[in-house]
Structure 1
C-alpha cells in the first residue's frame, strides 16, 4: 500500500490561481507562489492529502511551453520559494506532485535556440522530431519540425534519443533533490513513447520510495499505460464524461457500464475527477445544479483516486469562451472563501467526503459490487476484509426507496446525514432523498463528520419549479395528456439553502412523493423498454462509414457508435469488451456527449 492508493487530491493551476501575467518577460522574479500557502491549510481542512500543482517551470505563456526545467517560472518566484512551498505541504501531511511537460518544449528552450543558431551543425538537431532544414514555418526559422497539437510553439522532443531520455531523467532527479517532490503528472502521456515512459518509471523507482507517475490520457485501454513497467495511474477521462452526462441524461446505466468496462481493464488506480484546467467546471456542466451532490459522492466512492480542481469545491462556474481556457483558470483569493466549510453547502459536502474517505479504508481498497441500478437510482458496495460499505445515489427530483444487500453487522450509519438504519434479513431499507447521495458505513465506524446539508435547488429554482408545476397542472397536449415536467433553470450554489431532511421526514414520505417516484419508475421502465426494443435489432457499427462532416447531434445511434469506436481505435486496439460497452450504450444524448469528449 502506497500513499497514493488512499490519497485525496487537490489540483491547482498556479499561474491562474496566483494571478500571473499571461506572458513571461523573463524579468525579476515575483513571489506569487508564496500567496498560495494559505491554500495548503484549506486543502487540509477539506480532507485533501495530496496536491497536484503545475505547470511550474519557466515558460513563455500558459506554462506548457517549457523554457527551463530547472527554474521556477519567474512569474511565480524563485526555486527557494518552491522548496519552501513543498516543505510546508509536507509539514501539513500533504504530498506534492508536479506537472512534467516532457513531450515537447517551448521555442526558448536551450536546445531549440542552439538549432536556430547553428542549424545543421547544432549538437541538438536530433533532440527534436523530424527537423527538416529544407522546410520552414510561420516563424521563418528556415526549417520545420514536428509539434504537439498543430502548434509550432510546442516543439516535439525526440524521446527515442538517448541524450533526451538522460536529460529528462536528470530533471526528475533534480526535482527530487532540490524540491523533494513526491511524484509527477506526465502531460500528454497518450502520445509519449512507451520506452521513454519505461525509462521514467525506472527513474521513479530509483529516486524515492513510492514516487508516483500519473499520465494524462484521454481514451483507450488504460492498462496500456498503467502497469508495472510504465505508469502508476492515468487521468480517468472516461469516468469524467460519464459522471456529468449520466446525471444530465438521468442515465445511471452509462456510469455503471463505464465502471464495469474500467474494472475489466484490471485493478487500476485511476485518477478520477469531474473537472480540471482543460474542461468546463462541473457546476457549469450540470443541467440540474442539485446533482452536484450525487456526482461528488460517486467521485469519492467509486474505485480510483479522487481529485478536486481548485475552486470547484465552492461551486464556482467556468465555461470555455472564444476558444480560451482563461475562465477555467481564474485568480481566486482564499480570504473570500474562508468560512465556506460552514456557509457553503458545496464546500461542506466536499469537506465531509474528504473526511469520510480518509476514515473508511474500504473506499480506497475495497472491491466493487453493483447492488442496484435504474436510470435514476444506483447503489453499490465497497467490500474490504469482511466490512461492507454501501453507497446510494439518486438523481431524481423525488425521494426513492432502496432495498440493498448489507454486510455482517446489525446496523448502518449514513456518514453524511447521521441517519441510522437496521439490517433486516441481510438488507437495509433506505429512502434516498431527491438529488443526493449517501455513504452507509457499519454502525460504530469512527467518523468525525457532522451531518451536512443536501445540495438541492436554489430558492429561485424552487420558485420557478412551483410556478411551472402549477401551469403544467392545467396545460395539456393535443392528446389531452399533461405536458412533460419543465426544465429547471438555476443559479450558483451560493444560493443553495435547503437543509437535509430529518430521518423522521424520510420515514413519513407523503403519498404524493411516493406517487411521483412510482410515476418516474413507470416512465423510466418505458424508456428502458423502448431502448431495449432498439437493442433487439442492432446495427453493427463496424459496417457503417462515418460521415465526419455531420454534427454528433445529427448522427443516428449506430453512426455515433461507429464514430466512438473509430476514436477509440486511434488510441490502440479495440477489444471485444470495449466494443460491447459502446454497442450496449443505445442512448442518443449519452453517445453524443461521449463522442464530443474526444479531443
Structure 2
C-alpha cells in the first residue's frame, strides 16, 4: 500500500508557529526553519510520519493570497532553507506535503498586476474569472472580478484556461524538482474545476511515485473529489463536526452514522481525519467536557482514515476566533514550554501512546472496522486483521457504564493498551461464551488488545 495510507500527519501553520509578521514586510523571522525543524523532530517523537506545512509560498498576509508560487515566503526564509528542511524530514522517515493555493492569488501576483496596468489589453486578462471593465471595487481598480469567499483580496483564477493549468502544473514540477515534496494539500478544492483536478492526478502519477493529492472539502459527497481519477483524499469535515458535537450531545449515534455514511460513499478511500486545524476553533473551546479530548484523540487514530494532529493540539491548548480573525488559531509556540508534557500532560501522553500503537499494530491501519455496541453514551468497535483485533471502548457519560458485546475474534483475555498514559484509570473486563463485558469509568475511553 502507499505511504499515505499508513501515515500520521502533523499539521504546521508556519507563519503562526514562527511568529511572523501578519503583513509581509519582506523581513525574515530569525531562526524560522530551525524552529520548524525542531517541531518536525518533536512530531516524529510522538509518532507522526508526515508533515503538512503550509501555506508556505510568498504572500501578502496570511499565506493564501499568493504572490509568487516559486518563492518561499521571505518571512520564513529561503528556498534553500526549505529544501534543507525537507531533506531533514526525509532523513527521519517523514514525508512532506505543502499547500497548493491554485484557486486564487493575491493582488500582487504578476498576472493580476498586468491586468491592473493594461486592462482590456492585458496579456493575462483571461487568466481570471468574471473580469468586468464596467465595474469597480473597494480598491478602486476601475473593474471588478471573481474572487473567493467574497474577498477581493483573493482573485479567482480561471482554471479552465490552458495557460493557467500549465502554469500550475509547472509549479508542481518545480516543487518536486527543487524541494522533493511528497504531495499537495489543495486549498479550496471544493471550488476547483474538476477537469483541472483530473489533470493534477495525471501529473501526480507521472512526477513521483505515490505523490499524494489531498483536497480541502467541507460539505457534500466526498467521493466526487476523492476517487481514482481525481484526488487521493479530502478533509473529513463531516466527521470533524461529529467528533465534538457527538460528545457534547452525548450522542455516539452521530459519529457512528457518519462513519457508516462515509464508508457507503467512499468505500476504501481514506479521508484526512482531524480534530482541529488552522481554520476551526480548538477542541478545548468547543467541548463541554474537556475529558473528552482523550476520546476524540482515540477516535481520530482508530476510525478508518488518515489521522492528523494540528500543532499544539497534542498539548491541549486553547484557540478561539476573535473578531473574525483566525490568528488566535495559529499561535506562536515554543517547544521549551512543553518539554516534559509527555510525562505530565494527559493529552500529550495519549497522543504519544497512540503514535506508538499505530506503528506497532497493523490492525489499526489495515483492519476491518466492526461495530460492536452503540448507545448514546457508549460506543465500541473493533479493528480486525488476520485474526487479530483491537477494540475501542468509549463512555461519554457522567456515570460509569458497562458494555457487553460479541467478540469479533476468538479471545480469552484483553489487555488495556493505554494504562501507562497520564490520567489512565482502571477498567474491568471479562470474557465468557464468546462475549465480552467491559466496565468503564465515567467520561473515559481506551483501547483493548484481544489475546488468545
TM-score w.r.t. the length of structure 1 is 0.72
- Per the alignment, residue 340 of structure 2 pairs with 339
Question: How far apart, CA to CA, are the structure 2 residues paired with 1:92 and 1:433?
Answer: 39
Question: How far apart, CA to CA, are the structure 1 residues paired with 2:29 and 2:86?
Answer: 18
Structural mapping, 1:569-584, within 5 Å: none
Question: How far apart, CA to CA, are the structure 2 residues paired with 1:385 and 1:210?
Answer: 26
Structural mapping, 1:16-415, within 5 Å: 16-27=16-27, 30-265=30-265, 266-406=267-407, 407-415=409-417
1:381-420 Cα shifts (integer Å, max 9, x gaps): 1122232221111111222111232212332211112779
- Asked if structure 1 preserves the Cα contact closer than 8 Å seen for 2:429 and 2:439, the reply is no
- Asked if structure 1 preserves the Cα contact closer than 8 Å seen for 2:28 and 2:76, the reply is no
**Structure 1 counterpart of 2:434, from 423, 426, 433:** 426
Matched, 1:13 2:21: no
Deviation at 1:121, TM superposition (A): 1.6
Question: How far apart, CA to CA, are the structure 1 residues paired with 2:205 and 2:283?
Answer: 35
- Asked if structure 2 preserves the Cα contact closer than 8 Å seen for 1:31 and 1:81, the reply is no
Q: Which protein is richer in strand relative to its size?
A: 2
- Secondary structure of the 1:287 match is coil
- Asked if structure 1 preserves the Cα contact closer than 8 Å seen for 2:67 and 2:107, the reply is yes
- Unaligned 5+ runs, structure 1: 445-599
- Unaligned 5+ runs, structure 2: 421-426
- Secondary structure of the 1:126 match is helix
- Asked if structure 1 preserves the Cα contact closer than 8 Å seen for 2:430 and 2:438, the reply is no
- Asked if structure 1 preserves the Cα contact closer than 8 Å seen for 2:279 and 2:326, the reply is yes
- Secondary structure of the 2:244 match is helix
**Higher mean Cα deviation, 139-148 or 157-166?**
139-148
1:538-572 Cα shifts (integer Å, max 9, x gaps): xxxxxxxxxxxxxxxxxxxxxxxxxxxxxxxxxxx
- Secondary structure of the 1:25 match is coil
Deviation at 1:373, TM superposition (A): 0.7
Deviation at 1:427, TM superposition (A): 2.2
Question: How far apart, CA to CA, are the structure 1 residues paired with 2:234 and 2:259?
Answer: 15
RMSD (Å) for aligned C-alpha atoms: 1.5
Question: How far apart, CA to CA, are the structure 1 residues paired with 2:418 and 2:451?
Answer: 13
TM-score w.r.t. the length of structure 2 is 0.96
Question: How far apart, CA to CA, are the structure 2 residues paired with 1:247 and 1:420?
Answer: 23
- Secondary structure of the 1:379 match is strand
Question: How far apart, CA to CA, are the structure 2 residues paired with 1:338 and 1:174?
Answer: 37
Question: How far apart, CA to CA, are the structure 1 residues paired with 2:27 and 2:134?
Answer: 35
- Asked if structure 2 preserves the Cα contact closer than 8 Å seen for 1:31 and 1:75, the reply is no
Question: How far apart, CA to CA, are the structure 1 residues paired with 2:307 and 2:92?
Answer: 19
- Asked if structure 1 preserves the Cα contact closer than 8 Å seen for 2:19 and 2:29, the reply is no
Question: How far apart, CA to CA, are the structure 2 residues paired with 1:420 and 1:95?
Answer: 40
Rg larger in 1 or in 2? Answer: 1
- Per the alignment, residue 562 of structure 1 pairs with none
Question: How far apart, CA to CA, are the structure 2 residues paired with 1:183 and 1:116?
Answer: 33
**Higher mean Cα deviation, 121-130 or 406-415?**
406-415
Q: Which stretches of structure 1, 4 residues or more, deviate above 6 A after TM superposition?
A: none
- Secondary structure of the 1:93 match is coil
- Asked if structure 2 preserves the Cα contact closer than 8 Å seen for 1:388 and 1:442, the reply is yes
Deviation at 1:431, TM superposition (A): 1.2
Question: How far apart, CA to CA, are the structure 2 residues paired with 1:299 and 1:387?
Answer: 20
Deviation at 1:28, TM superposition (A): 6.0
- Asked if structure 2 preserves the Cα contact closer than 8 Å seen for 1:31 and 1:78, the reply is no
- Secondary structure of the 1:289 match is coil
